[in-house]
C-alpha cells in the first residue's frame, strides 16, 4: 500500500494565492510610496497616504481569514499557536539587542516545513503576539507583521527537493537575504517621517525630499539605511539567523516534520458515497 501524499498545513488555493498577491501589492505600495511620488518645487511637504495605514490591519486580517478558511484543523491551529508563542518569547528574550534577533530562524524553518501559507500566517501572528508582550503596538506594527509574513512566505516557496546540508545552506543564505530586506523595508516605512538627519561627510541631510525624483530619493535612502541599519543591526540579525539555522536547524527541522505528520490537514475523501463509519471493536467475551 502506498503512503498517502502529505498535505501542507495551510494549503494555498488559487483564491488564497490571489489574496496574498493583492495584499502584497498593497503592502509594497504602503512601503514604497515615497519612491513613487514627485511634486513641484513650490511644495515643501507631502502628506503620506494614511488611508493605507488604516487599511493595513484590515488587509492582513482578511488574508489570514481567507487562508485559514477550511485549511486548518484543531491540531494545525494548536501548532500555529504554540509556534507563535515560542517566537514571541524568543523576540522578548532577544529584543533585537545589537541586532541579535531569534525570531526569523524559527519562522524560516516553519515556513520551510509547513509551506508558504503557514509561514505567512505564522509571521503575522508571531509579530502580533510579541508586540502585545513587549507593549510594542504602534503604527509600525502592521509593517512588521507584513514583512515578517513575507519572510515566512518566501521560506515556503524555496525549492522543495533540497535535503541535508544543501537545504541548511540554502536556508541560511535565505535568512541572510531576508534579514537585510526586512531591515531595509522597515527603514523605508519610517524614513519619510524623519527630519534633519545629517551625517558628517555627506552633503545635505538624508531625509525624504518630496521635490526630488524617485532615483534621487532611492539613492538618499540607500545611504541612510546603509549607515543607520545595514552595517549594524541588520548584519547582526543576518548573522544570528544564519548561525541559528546551521546549528539548530537539523534538530528543529526534524521536530517540525514529525509534528507535520500529525497535524497535517486530512484531504476530503473522494467518491460519491459517504465515508464509511469507523468500526467499533467488539467487547471481549
Query: 48-70, pLDDT tens digit by residue?
Result: 555 556 666 666 776 666 666 65
Flag whether the pTM goes above 0.85.
no
- How would residue 97 be classed by pLDDT, with cut points 50, 70 and 90? low
For residue 49, the SS3 value is coil
Query: 188-211, pLDDT tens digit by residue?
Result: 887 877 765 655 555 567 777 777
270: which 3 cell numbers? 473522494
**114 and 260 Cβ atoms separated by less than 8 Å:** yes
Query: 110-169, pLDDT tens digit by residue?
Result: 999 988 888 888 888 888 888 887 767 777 788 888 899 999 999 999 988 888 899 999
Q: Inform me whether the pLDDT recorded for 96 exceeds 90.
A: no
Kind and range of the H or E run holding 180: helix 164-190
Amino acid at each position: 500500500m502506498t503512503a498517502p501524499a502529505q498535505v501542507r498545513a495551510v494549503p494555498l488555493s488559487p483564491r488564497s494565492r490571489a489574496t496574498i498577491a493583492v495584499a502584497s501589492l498593497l503592502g509594497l505600495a504602503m512601503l514604497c510610496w515615497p519612491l513613487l511620488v514627485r511634486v513641484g518645487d513650490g511644495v515643501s511637504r507631502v502628506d503620506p497616504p494614511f488611508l493605507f495605514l488604516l487599511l493595513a490591519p484590515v488587509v492582513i486580517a482578511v488574508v489570514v481569514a481567507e487562508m485559514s478558511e477550511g485549511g486548518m484543523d484543531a491540531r494545525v491551529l494548536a501548532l500555529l499557536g504554540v509556534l507563535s508563542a515560542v517566537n514571541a518569547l524568543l523576540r522578548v528574550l532577544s529584543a533585537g539587542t545589537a541586532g541579535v534577533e531569534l525570531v526569523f530562524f524559527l519562522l524560516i524553518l516553519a515556513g520551510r516545513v509547513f509551506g508558504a501559507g503557514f509561514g505567512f500566517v505564522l509571521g503575522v501572528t508571531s509579530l502580533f503576539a510579541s508586540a502585545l508582550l513587549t507593549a510594542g503596538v504602534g503604527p509600525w506594527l502592521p509593517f512588521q507583521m507584513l514583512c515578517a509574513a513575507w519572510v515566512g512566505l518566501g521560506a515556503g516557496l524555496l525549492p522543495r527537493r533540497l535535503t541535508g546540508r544543501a537545504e541548511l545552506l540554502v536556508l541560511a543564505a535565505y535568512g541572510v537575504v531576508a534579514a537585510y530586506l526586512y531591515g531595509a523595508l522597515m527603514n523605508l516605512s519610517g524614513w519619510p517621517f524623519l527630519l534633519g538627519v545629517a551625517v558628517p561627510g555627506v552633503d545635505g541631510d538624508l531625509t525624504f525630499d518630496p521635490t526630488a525624483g524617485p532615483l534621487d530619493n532611492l539613492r538618499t535612502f540607500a545611504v541612510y539605511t546603509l549607515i543607520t541599519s545595514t552595517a549594524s543591526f541588520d548584519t547582526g540579525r543576518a548573522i544570528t539567523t544564519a548561525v541559528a539555522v546551521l546549528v539548530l536547524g537539523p534538530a528543529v527541522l526534524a521536530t517540525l516534520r514529525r509534528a507535520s505528520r500529525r497535524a497535517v490537514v486530512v484531504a476530503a475523501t473522494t467518491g460519491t458515497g459517504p465515508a464509511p463509519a469507523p468500526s467499533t471493536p467488539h467487547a471481549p467475551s
